[in-house]
Amino acid sequence: MTAHVVLIDALNLIRRIYAVQERPFLLNNELSDNTKQQVLYNTAQASTTALSNILSTLQPTHAVAVFDSEKPCWRYDIYPDYKKGRKKMPEHLSATLPDIQDQFLSVGVDSIEPEEDEADDVIATLAIKVALRNQRVSIVSTDKCFLSLLNENIEVYDYFNRRFLDNQYIEDKFSVKSSQLIDLWALTGDSTNKIPGVAGIGQITAAELINTYGSVNAILSADKLKSSIQEKLDQGKDMLQLSHQLLTLKQNIPLGFNLKDIRLN
């Protein structure tokens, strides 16, 4: 039987829904205590409805919601400023995640919360394992990192805009192929996760370099670069290598379960 596995980036889904539910009630960027419970209830209900809609639209045979570990992942070990300054999840929302997981289970979808890994790496590991068996994988997320995984068996679905983010989307938005995205972002940096890249190189320049030379390694080996570009690369080479490492999704996370454990009834 051909499997279709849906991998849900759970916090990406829940936090975006929470932001929508919270916005009408914010006063001086705060919620009153009386309002928090209502917003949390609305978020849980809307998240479960979203999950049901995803299942109805994609019609998978298997599905799982993947959460981040509560512990800092390996990226903080090699770069302590990773995600520095990003808005943290509100404590009251974090405290209600187990309840949301229970509601997800009520519609047949179990959750994974790894001990020390980010959801991104767990989803990438799962996606590659399934795709290597020539089975279909749909990753539900608006996180651009998953676009680097696109292939004939792996697709990315943006639930909020009800569309698949395909190769044409990547070409229009980034001007490179999906297989070149990590190299592109290693050059430009990733402001969302506070990964710096090479100072002074923006997306247009990075895309031109990649389309001319094919990869970061080829760019670094080139001998006819503009002097200004060469200087930036020379000064930022160490950060370029670190950024590339931070941006690359792991594909070998120990999972401890198999497909039959996430089969839908």
- Same domain for 54 and 12: yes
- Are residues 60 and 162 located together in one domain of the fold? yes
Statement to judge: residues 174 and 237 lie in one domain = yes
Q: So what's the pLDDT on residue 122?
A: 96
In-domain check, residue 86: yes
Q: Could you list the residues known to form a binding site, using ranges.
A: 120, 187, 196, 198, 201
Instruction: Supply the pLDDT for residue 26.
Output: 79
Q: Which residues are annotated as a binding site for K(+)?
A: 187, 196, 198, 201
- The pLDDT score that the predictor gives to residue 190 is 95
Residues 189 and 83 grouped into a single domain = no
Half-sphere CA count of 20, side-chain side, radius 13 A: 12
Cα separation, 219 vs 212, in Å, equals 9
CATH code at position 35: 3.40.50.1010
Q: Which residues are annotated as a binding site for Mg(2+)?
A: 120
Q: Residue 87: give the domain boundaries.
A: 4-167
Residue 87 within any structural domain of the chain: yes
pLDDT of residue 57: 97
CA distance 125 to 131: 10
In a domain, 56, yes or no: yes
pLDDT at position 1 is 65
List the chain residues with pLDDT less than 70.
Answer: 1, 28
